[in-house]
């Protein structure tokens, strides 16, 4: 039983290492020098595009047009909400890259 538990713990440790790699290295190519990588989320690479654009981007493949973007879609619970963009916005705010004009607490 102890051997099985040890093997399980080792497997969990290895899985955590792999997850950590995904959070620090983009899954897809993105060639914009103004973008800051925010990590991966639900098979998307999240970015904050620095000024002058100040927007969020979620890339979902290496094909250049395969992304969604726009602060107007980075909302929660509205008809035009894009959850991955909302996550990118939360991360950008947490890292002090972006501050809303009428800042509200994001949950």
Count of the separate structural domains present in the chain: 1
Q: Within a domain: residue 104?
A: no
* Domain carrying residue 45: 2-94
Q: Within a domain: residue 83?
A: yes
Q: Within a domain: residue 103?
A: no
Task: Indicate whether this model's pTM tops 0.85.
Answer: no
Angle formed at CA 6 by CA 5 and CA 7, multiple of 5 degrees? 90
pLDDT given for residue 18 in this prediction? 59
Q: Within a domain: residue 73?
A: yes
What CA–CA distances, in Å, run from 7 to 2, 11, 14, 29, 79?
9, 6, 11, 35, 46
Q: 33-82, pLDDT tens digit by residue? A: 999 999 999 999 999 999 988 999 999 999 999 999 999 999 998 888 99
Q: Within a domain: residue 55?
A: yes
Q: Are 67 and 60 in contact (CB under 8 A)?
A: yes
pLDDT given for residue 22 in this prediction? 52
pLDDT given for residue 78 in this prediction? 84
């Amino acid at each position: 039983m102890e051997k099985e538990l040890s093997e399980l713990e080792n497997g969990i440790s290895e899985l955590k290492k792999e997850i950590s790699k995904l959070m620090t290295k983009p899954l897809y190519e993105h060639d914009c020098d103004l973008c800051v990588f925010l990590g991966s989320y639900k098979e998307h690479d999240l970015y904050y595009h620095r000024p002058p654009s100040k927007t969020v981007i979620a890339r979902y493949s290496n094909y250049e047009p395969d992304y969604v973007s726009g602060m107007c879609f980075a909302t929660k619970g509205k008809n035009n909400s894009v959850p991955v963009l909302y996550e990118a916005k939360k991360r950008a705010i947490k890292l002090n890259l972006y501050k809303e004009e009428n800042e509200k607490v994001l949950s």
